[in-house]
A and B are shown apart, each in its own frame.
Chain A
Amino acid sequence: MRNAAPSRAPKVSLRGGTPPARSPWRGGGWLAAGIGLLLLFPLSSPDAFFLDVFTTGFLLAAFAASWDVVGGVSGQITLGHALPFGTAAYACALLTSFAGWPLPLAVAAAVLLAAAVGAGIGALSARLVGPFVALLTLALGEIAHEAAVGHTFFSGPGGYAWGGEGGIPVALPWRDAPPFWSYYAALAFLCLASFGMLRFSRSGAGLILRAVAGSPITAQASGVPIARFRRLAFTVGSAFAGAAGAGFVLHVGRATANDLSLELSFQAATFAAVGGRGTIVGPVVAALVLHVLFQGLSLPPSARVLLYALTLLVTLRFFPGGVVGTARDLASRLGGKEGARPPRRRGRNRPGEGTP
């Protein structure tokens, strides 16, 4: 009979559970070189327009990575990710301009509000899968967008109004700051946010989320409360999206209904698909490259949307794993099976291995 009561299972950490081929530090040289080039770029006295394009690109890249936490790592495809982004942007503008809050406090409150919105979306969509998550988040995002377009917060004499199409200004203490200030602040934010999201995706919770994304039924049969983990993904992803939204409104100086638009959500999903879903780094690189390329060419907005759609179609047809996924496939084909590689730091051999 039973030797001992089956009390607790052995304690185990999930950290470091991936083989070194997927280490977050892999490719660190390329990353450092890229960041170095971006740090040096303002020193070449570029046009203020290009500084603005890059600054916006950094914020969009962080936003795309936050989409990847939800849609890539946890597999809940959201088409309403602009909702936490825009919520934070509006909260930041309203709290500084209307309520007169100090900026740091307003930003912190905006990020918390975005996380709460994410938790709410996560709770609503936790039991849904596939297209139903996309439809629900699309509907929620569009409701918020239409509300923002139609709602006027303040009407003054002479037709002056806050809200509606014109949006809401944010009270900035640095109106006359030089443009490279925003550039470096946004780059620092992108580095910190990407690192945080990468750590999350490589953590124990991230591994469980990847399990839930891959096979919810097996995850549940392994004791994973999948609804709770899906809520967690939405909460974390939305907090980072909110931080990007707050950064964006501080850069452009005004929250508008565009910050809640479907186009913005679609852009984030496109960046993630092109870069490689679930990789965090891929969407960041894709967002930077595509945004700088399309925006830098000064194309009209309708042409940019068309180009994003075409890029997405080409990626889904020819490189379904995105840039990073395709590169990994190529690397594993050229260098043998990735799974056969031994770990760099661990992996002691055990006597009798391979026999039950």
Chain B
Amino acid sequence: MKTLLSAEGITKSFGATQVLSGITLSVAPGEPVGLFGPNGSGKTTLVNLLSGLLLPDAGTVRFDGKEITRLPLDARYRLGIARTFQIPHPYPALSVREAVRVALAVNAGKRKEGGGTREDEEGPTEDLLARTGLFNQRFVPCAQLSQGCLRRLEFARALACRPKLLILDEIFSALSAADEGDLMALLRAANRDEGTAFLLVSHNPPLLKALCRRILVLEEGRIVRERTV
């Protein structure tokens, strides 16, 4: 089976505290994978290591056949690994539309050099805003968004690079039932329609079972179980 993301022997310590020891995991293209574990088991540290926010003490991370162990967060995003944060950090001075435009424009890299109309250029932004249910809030400053809208914005930002892999850190926590349902539908649509694989970190086993095909259980910095749903 082809592997999209693989991590081998990932180890991380903070001072004398070893948080992760010898983590090995893989995600196939288009595969929905869950990551479950109690508080302090090292889930967020693992997410930070896989997304490039932290560097491991030992071990390697490969993505799409390339070694990316030392690649930073922004370079991994441009490769197609997008992540969301457990606690969103919105841009205080930017509107929702501007926040999405930042992600779209950076990812477009070499932006168009002449040609095309402004209407053509705005299409992707507005499509993404409509898709994530943020179109009506597009001129609202990010700092004024509700928790549900902030999660949607995180999702829009992550989808802007048309990711091959989404890493979602507790994106369903502290959400209303309606927001949770909407985000689940979005995630399923991205997986089904665009073949986006995801690694979903959650404390909620029923939610993981509903969305994932495989669930990894992390305890005390080690993957202790793996369940196929």
Interface residue from A14, A213, A353, A355 paired with B105 (Cβ < 8 Å) = A14
Q: Decide if A10 touches B123 in the complex (CB within 8 Å).
A: yes
Chain A contact residues: helix, strand, loop or mixed: loop
Asked whether B106 is an interface residue with its Cβ less than 8 Å from the other chain, the reply is yes
Known A-B contacts A1-B29, A211-B99, A339-B140; the reply to A12 vs B108 at CB < 8 A is yes
**Residues A13 and B91 in contact, CB atoms below 8 Å apart:** no
CB <8 Å contact, B141 and A18: no
B125 closest partner in A (C-beta): A12
Contact B186 A207 (CB under 8 A): no
Residue B116 CB within 8 A of the other chain: yes
Check A2 against B29 for contact (C-beta < 8 Å).
yes
**Contact for A207 among B94, B119, B135, B139, CB less than 8 A:** B94
| B9 interface contact, C-beta 8 A | no
Complex Cα–Cα for A221 and B88 (A): 11
**Given the complex, which residues of A lie within 8 Å of B122, measured CB to CB?**
12, 346
Nearest CB in chain B to that of A349: its residue: B135
B123-166 contact mask (Cβ, 8 Å, vs A): 1 or 0: 11110001111011111110010000000100001001111100
Asked whether, in the complex, the Cβ of B157 is within 8 Å of the Cβ of A218, the reply is yes
Main SS class of interface, B: helix
CB distance from B116 to the nearest CB of A (A): 7
21 A-B interface contacts by CB (under 8 A): A2-B196, A6-B162, A12-B111, A18-B95, A18-B98, A208-B105, A210-B98, A211-B102, A219-B102, A221-B53, A221-B73, A221-B77, A221-B82, A221-B85, A223-B107, A226-B74, A339-B140, A346-B118, A350-B135, A355-B133, A356-B133
A221, chain B: closest CB distance, angstroms: 6
If A222-B103, A224-B102 touch, whether A12 touches B121 (CB-CB below 8 Å) is yes
Determine the distance from Cα of A220 to Cα of B94 in the docked complex, in whole angstroms.
15
Contact check, A210 vs B74: say whether CB atoms are below 8 A apart: no
List of A residues within 8 angstroms of B225 by Cβ:
none
Q: In whole angstroms, what is the CA distance A351 to B109 when docked?
A: 30
Q: What's the tally of chain B residues with a CB closer than 8 Å to chain A?
A: 73
Q: Is A11 an interface residue (CB 8 A)?
A: yes
Contact partner, A210, options B85, B91, B182, Cβ 8 Å? B91
A23 at interface, CB cutoff 8 A: no
Question: A residues 335-356 with Cβ under 8 Å of B?
Answer: 337-343, 346-348, 350, 352-356
- Taking CB atoms, residues of chain A closer than 8 Å to B141 are 338-339
A9 beta carbon closer than 8 Å to chain B = yes
Cβ of A331 under 8 Å from chain B:
no
Known: A208-B106, A221-B83, A342-B139. A11 touches B162 (CB 8 A): no
- Residue among B94, B163, B182 making CB contact with A214, cutoff 8 Å: B94
Residue in contact with A220 in the complex, picked from B72, B95, B101, B189, CB distance below 8 Å: B72
Interface residue? B42 (CB, 8 A): no
Contact (A340, B140) CB under 8 Å given A2-B29, A220-B72:
yes
Beta-carbon contact of A1 and B30 below 8 Å: yes
Please state if B105 and A214 are interface contacts (CB–CB under 8 Å): no
Q: A217-B89, A222-B106, A353-B136 are in contact. Are A11 and B161 (CB under 8 A)?
A: no
B80 within 8 A of A: yes
Once the chains bind, are A218 and B95 in contact (CB under 8 Å)? no
State whether B51 touches A215 (Cβ < 8 A). Answer: no
A102 contact set on B, CB distance < 8 A: none
Residues of B within 8 A of A17 (CB): 97-98, 101
Q: Across the interface, do A14 and B102 meet the contact criterion of CB distance under 8 Å?
A: yes
- Given A10-B123, A17-B97, answer yes or no on A218-B186 (Cβ-Cβ < 8 Å): no
Q: Which A1-38 residues have a C-beta within 8 angstroms of B?
A: 1-3, 6-19
Q: Judging by beta carbons under 8 Å apart, are B106 and A224 in contact?
A: yes
**B74–A225 contact, CB under 8 A?**
yes
Q: A221-B85, A224-B74, A356-B132 are in contact. Are A343 and B139 (CB under 8 A)?
A: yes
